[in-house]
């Protein structure tokens, strides 16, 4: 795999977006939950499975717990992917110092 610099930068920007949402989930939980709830509950809805998601959000504490569990796996996966992409870029572009 030989990723271009543009791909690496775009990949890292999407990672930052995910990490930003994870930060909000962990450290601004109430605001994050309310933002998602308001977005899904808004009329007219653009979400095809709106009722399904609203039912999941009804039990707030359960929803928050499972979101945080899955976010731990997500953060680990995103960080591992970032390391792999940057390492592939560095190795393939002769920037490894060898």
Residue whose entry in the numeric block shows the structure tokens 């890292």: 12
Asked if the structure places residue 98 within a domain, the reply is: no
**Has residue 16 been placed in a domain?**
yes
Q: What are the structure tokens assigned to 59, written together?
A: 């039990």
Q: Which of 9-13, 66-70, 92-96 has the lowest mean pLDDT?
A: 92-96
Q: Which stretches of 42-94 are DSSP H helices?
A: 50-58, 60-92
**For 79-90, what is the mean pLDDT?**
94
Whether the per-residue pLDDT at 25 is higher than 90: the answer is yes
The whole domain housing 55 covers 5-92
The answer, yes or no, to whether residue 78 has pLDDT greater than 60, is: yes
pLDDT exceeds 70 at position 58: yes
- 69-98: average pLDDT: 89
Residue 39 is assigned to a structural domain of this protein:
yes
Query: Has residue 97 been placed in a domain?
Result: no
pLDDT for res 82: 97
Domain count, the chain: 1
The answer to whether position 25 is within a domain reads yes
Residues 19/78, Cβ–Cβ less than 8 Å: yes
Rounded CA-CA distance 98/74 in Å is 33
52: exposed, middle or buried (Cβ count in 10 Å: 0-12, 13-18, 19+): exposed
Instruction: Give the position of tokens 């504490």.
Output: 61
């Amino acid at each position: 795999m030989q990723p271009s610099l543009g791909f690496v930068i775009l990949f890292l920007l999407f990672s930052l977006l995910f990490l930003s949402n994870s930060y909000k989930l962990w450290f601004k939980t109430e605001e994050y939950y309310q933002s998602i709830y308001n977005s899904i509950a808004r009329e007219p809805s653009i979400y095809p499975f709106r009722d399904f998601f609203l039912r999941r959000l009804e039990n707030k504490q359960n929803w928050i717990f499972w979101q945080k569990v899955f976010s731990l796996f997500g953060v680990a996966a995103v960080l591992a992917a970032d390391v792999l992409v940057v390492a592939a870029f560095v190795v393939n572009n002769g920037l490894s110092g060898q």
